[in-house]
Amino acid sequence: MIIEVLAAFVGTLAFSVFYNVSKRELLFCGTVGGISWTVYLFVNAFIHDSIFSCFFAAIVISVISHILSRVRKNPVTIYQIGGIFPLVPGAGMYKTLYYIVNEDYTLSTYYLYESLQIAGGIAVAMILIASLNNLLIKR
């Protein structure tokens, strides 16, 4: 598990480079990615439900991103994209279209709904925390 979290840290850091995040913020992005995967694994070990685990991990990293963005004076997106990177259903989207190409519509529908549920969960978590942030702290 430690290796997986470390890999999530390195992977998120690498993809932040790919998104042209400035050098000073790279380590923070990597850390957020590592935390996100840790929370996901932890929650998933208890309830065995990937959608809820993603939702919960997204809530945690959104809170961290909002705090970081306030401290480091940067847009929230920078940290948030890094954080959700290990969670988002990239592979699910690929599988959806892959099974359509292979004419296996049952599996493709399954992966389509799974991807939409995970993406929806993460999106709702992000909006929830953003709204709370707006309510609590007047800009």
Whole-number Å distance between alpha carbons of 42 and 23: 30
Q: Is 102 in the site for other proteins (CB under 8 A)?
A: yes
Size of the site for other proteins (CB under 8 A): 48
Binding mask 57-76 for other proteins (x = CB under 8 A): ----------------xxx-
What are the start-end ranges of the H helices in 25-101? Answer: 26-47, 50-72, 76-84, 90-101
DSSP code of 4?
Answer: H
> Could you tell me the smallest distance in angstroms from the CB atom of residue 89 to other proteins?
5
Residues 71-100 that bind other proteins (CB under 8 A): 73-75, 77-78, 81, 84-86, 88-94, 96-98, 100
Between the alpha carbon of residue 40 and those of residues 64, 80, 113, the distances in Å are 15, 15, 20
In the complex, which residues of this chain contact other proteins (CB under 8 A)? Answer: 3-4, 7-8, 10-11, 14-22, 25, 37, 73-75, 77-78, 81, 84-86, 88-94, 96-98, 100-102, 115-116, 119-120, 122-124, 126-127
